[in-house]
Copies of this chain bind each other. A is one copy, B any other.
Amino acid sequence: MNGNQHLFIPGPTNVPEPVRQAMNLPMEDMRAPDFGDFVTGLLSDLKRAYRMEGGRVFVFPSSGTGAWESAIQNTLRPGDKVLMSRFGQFSLLWVDMAERLGLDVEVIDVDWGKGVPVAEYAARLEADKGHEIKAVFATQNETATGVTSDIAGLRAALDAAGHPALLFVDGVSSIASIEFEMEKWGVDLAVSGSQKGFMLPAGLGILGVSDKALAANKALAGDGMARCYFSFEDMIKLNDTGYFPYTPATQLLRGLRVSLDMLLGAGMETVWARHRRLAEGVRAAVAAWEGCELVAQGPGWQSDTVSAIYVPDGVDAREVISGAYYKYQTSLGTGLNKLAGRAFRIGHLGSLNPVMLCGAISAAEMALVDAGAQITPGAGVAAAQAHYRDTTPSTLAASARAA
């Protein structure tokens, strides 16, 4: 009776109506004779969203974290040396996992607000003449800070050094939202989840795997880290027939079918451009808020899927978030770890449009003012409006004129 809840966290994202309709269904037999064809088509289209022709995409009943674990367990051995960088809560957690799974992690700590230090990686790869580094890890989009890194640049660094390390990418909050090119960029293991750009509920861990990574898995010959639930081998054997080694989340797979149809129907470039446009409106709003600032340190690092925003001095970001939630029915992202109290986040990925974001910005403005920020109410919305008006797709403008 009190209207919609407004969801502007960087995932789970808003589920489009056609996807929601598709998931409103009775259960089905995951061993039915025609289920295999459905799965085969789905996995093949997932590859198109990942922009890859070779390799495979695995879909686990798990969160993205599970796909992280699968990527490591199936291609590396305990004690293998890997190169990682840490500049936010999620890159931090990935390092933690790598260590707990027994890797020898060389971590580069970076200021929160910047991303993967490509030059530094390049230097270390160059120096690693013995190719002791087995894998290089990069968080393409650090969800905690709203920072996007340069994966193409990282590939160039690997190539320049002639280094054979596997390239692991955390694309949980980037794939199917911002530019991602599995094959062109030579990514070997790319992790995502259902609840971000794929616009589904949480529950699927999605993992793109290159032919090179599959070869690395094969080279382990069943040896390496203990694994079973997330093992490539079991998954490959069953996926080849269109089935799964254990009960898949069929409801989400049916939803994924529709979301892939939407994404591929629009074209991935269009999807990426849409996210860019939405993000720029939010950044225009932030720029109009006195005393607020993006955590991302400069345009080169700004993410098109989530903005982390420092609140003005003297303001408690937790109060902004709590106020938005209780008073304005709006979920904003919290400041994680060292950003707690200092920043809040606006997720702007998935199924969204300018008016929804004007609502989000309004909610943030009201909550900021309530929390003591000296911003000009409406200023952010006005800035966002200007951007959205200026960037209206010409087809929509034409429809409006023709009506």
- Say yes or no: is A370 at the interface (Cβ < 8 Å to chain B): yes
* Cβ contacts under 8 Å, A203 to chain B: 61, 203, 249, 251-252
> Which residues of A does B touch, CB under 8 Å?
1-7, 9, 11-17, 20-33, 60-66, 68-69, 78, 96-97, 100-102, 193, 195, 199, 201-203, 225-231, 245-252, 259, 262-263, 266, 271, 274, 318-319, 322-323, 325-331, 333-334, 351-356, 358-360, 362-363, 365-366, 369-370, 376-379, 381-383, 385-386, 388-389, 392, 396-397, 399-401, 403
For A385, the chain B residues whose CB sits under 8 A away are: 362, 365-366, 369, 377-378
Q: Are A5 and B24 in contact (CB under 8 A)?
A: no
A171 CB, min distance to chain B CBs, angstroms: 15
- Cross-interface CB contact of A3 among B69, B326, B356, cutoff 8 Å: B356
8 A-B contact pairs sorted by A residue (CB < 8 Å): A1-B271, A3-B16, A3-B353, A21-B25, A27-B195, A28-B331, A63-B248, A65-B228
Q: Are A362 and B351 in contact (CB under 8 A)?
A: no
Q: Given A62-B62, A246-B64, does the pair A228, B100 have CB atoms closer than 8 Å? A: yes
| B1, B263, B330, B378: the one within 8 Å of A1 (CB) | B263
Given contacts A1-B263, A358-B358, list 10 more A-B pairs with CB under 8 A: A4-B14, A32-B331, A61-B61, A69-B228, A326-B400, A330-B355, A359-B359, A362-B385, A370-B400, A381-B381
Chain B residue with Cβ nearest A99: B228
Q: Are B14 and A3 in contact (CB under 8 A)?
A: yes
Judging by beta carbons under 8 Å apart, are A358 and B362 in contact?
Answer: yes
Q: B378 to A353, Cβ gap below 8 A?
A: no
- B27–A12 CB distance below 8 A: yes
Is A31 a contact of B359 with CB atoms below 8 Å?
no
CA distance in complex: A193, B61 (Å): 12
Say whether B396 contacts A326, CB under 8 Å. Answer: yes
Is B249 touching A6 in the complex (CB atoms < 8 A)?
no
Q: Could you tell me if B100 and A322 are in contact, using CB atoms closer than 8 angstroms?
A: no
Q: Which residue, A68, A329, A385, A388, has most C-beta atoms of chain B within 10 A?
A: A385
Q: Which residues of B contact A24 (CB under 8 A)?
A: 20-21, 23-24
Nearest 3 CB-CB pairs, A to B? Answer: A378-B382, A358-B362, A3-B353
Q: Say whether, besides A355-B359, A377-B386, A381-B362, A251 and B327 are in contact (CB < 8 Å).
A: no
Q: Which of B7, B25, B351 contacts A17 (CB 8 A)?
A: B25
B1 touches A229 (CB 8 A): no
Q: Which residues of B contact A271 (CB under 8 A)?
A: 1
Q: How far is the CA of A182 from the CA of B370 in the complex (A)?
A: 40
A322 B400 Cβ-Cβ under 8 A: yes
